[in-house]
């Protein structure tokens, strides 16, 4: 077994040192097709420069990108797929590589709590693909991935807003919750958001100076009416109604003073 391994390594070293570029390409493809990407990569890296401008450059770039992708090096792969798409816009793999540019960023999109940079890049690249190839069979998948990524961003924005609510920065919470509704319409947190706006509005009004108290109480009633109209059968409706009743009593008290 050890002898076979040494012989194999010796053969590979000879290929690496060879000046026969066509042999290197043939062997690189062979290693790639055997899923031996660690051996394919050094050959393809050399060939990507040596074959630049030649007829084989397109295939070398294609295999080179996929080798990095297959090793889980998605950001490098994304760059190489994009390089292919830019260099060979009419190449036979152009559509596929444009999609893979986006898909690699999708794979690099972290959990919602972490930096969203790659999530935004993935959305932008997926949208670019659908614009460039509107009739592609991959468009449906792109739209599904975009929806998934936007849901992740909505979750991040919701929990950031909720943190203001938890820490009793009620004015900031109201602004943040409303921004979630604007930026991510139709997200799955909407019912909770509208309810939290009622609660935050009430707490903000209750603790306001006298000159702003009534106006903010009336804003709480507006928030309640909005919630009532949208979610008349909500499990949170009883709590919302209770806040409305407290607010109306406080408004009456203010008017009598």
pLDDT > 70: what percent of the chain? Answer: 96
Secondary structure string (H, E, C) spanning the chain: CHHHHHHHHHHHHHHHHCCCHHHHHHHHHHHHHCCCHHHHHHHHHHHHHHCCCCCCHHHHHHHHHHHHHHCCCHHHHHHHHHHHHHHCCCCCCHHHHHHHHHHHHHHHCCCCCCCCHHHHHHHHHHHHHHHHCCCCCCHHHHHHHHHHHHHHHHHHHHHHHHHHHHCCCHHHHHHHHHHHHHHCCCCCCHHHHHHHHHHHHHHHHHCCCHHHHHHHHHHHHHHHHHHHHHCCCCCCHHHHHHHHHHHHHHHHHHHHC
pLDDT band at 6 (very low <50, low <70, confident <90, very high): very low
**Per residue in 136-163, pLDDT tens?**
999 999 999 999 999 999 999 999 999 9
Residue 154 in tokens: 């909505």
pLDDT at position 4 over 50: no
Average pLDDT of span 20-37 = 91
Largest CA distance in the chain: 98
User: Is the pLDDT at 24 greater than 70, yes or no?
Assistant: yes
Compute how many other C-beta atoms are within 10 angstroms of the C-beta atom of residue 122.
26
What's the chain's average pLDDT? 91
Residue range 230-241: mean pLDDT, rounded: 94
* pLDDT score for 18: 81
Q: Output the pLDDT for position 3.
A: 35
Give the pLDDT score at 250.
86
216-233: per-residue pLDDT in tens?
899 999 999 999 999 999
First vs last C-alpha separation in the chain: 95
**pLDDT at residue 1, rounded to an integer:** 46
pLDDT of 2 over the 60 cut: no
Instruction: Note the pTM of the prediction, 2 decimals.
Output: 0.83
């Amino acid at each position: 077994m050890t002898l076979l391994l040494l012989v194999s390594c010796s053969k590979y070293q000879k290929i690496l040192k060879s000046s026969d570029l066509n042999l290197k390409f043939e062997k690189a493809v062979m290693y790639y097709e055997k899923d031996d990407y660690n051996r394919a990569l050094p050959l393809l890296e050399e060939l990507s420069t040596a074959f630049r401008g030649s007829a084989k450059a397109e295939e070398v770039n294609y295999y080179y990108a996929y080798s990095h992708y297959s090793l889980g090096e998605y950001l490098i792969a994304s760059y190489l797929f994009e390089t292919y798409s830019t260099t060979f816009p009419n190449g036979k793999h152009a559509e596929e590589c444009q999609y893979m540019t986006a898909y690699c960023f999708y794979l690099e999109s972290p959990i919602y709590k972490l930096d969203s940079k790659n999530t935004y890049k993935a959305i932008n690249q997926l949208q670019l693909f659908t614009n460039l190839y509107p009739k592609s069979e991959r468009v449906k998948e792109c739209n599904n991935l975009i929806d998934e990524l936007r849901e992740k961003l909505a979750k991040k924005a919701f929990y950031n807003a909720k943190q203001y609510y938890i820490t009793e920065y009620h004015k900031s919470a109201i602004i943040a919750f409303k921004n979630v509704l604007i930026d991510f319409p139709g997200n799955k947190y909407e019912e909770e958001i509208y309810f939290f706006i009622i609660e935050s509005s009430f707490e903000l009004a209750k603790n306001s100076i006298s000159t702003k108290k009534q106006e903010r109480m009336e804003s709480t009633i507006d928030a309640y009416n909005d919630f009532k109209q949208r979610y008349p059968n909500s499990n949170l409706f009883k709590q919302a109604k209770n806040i409305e009743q407290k607010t109306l009593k406080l408004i009456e008290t203010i008017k009598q003073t």
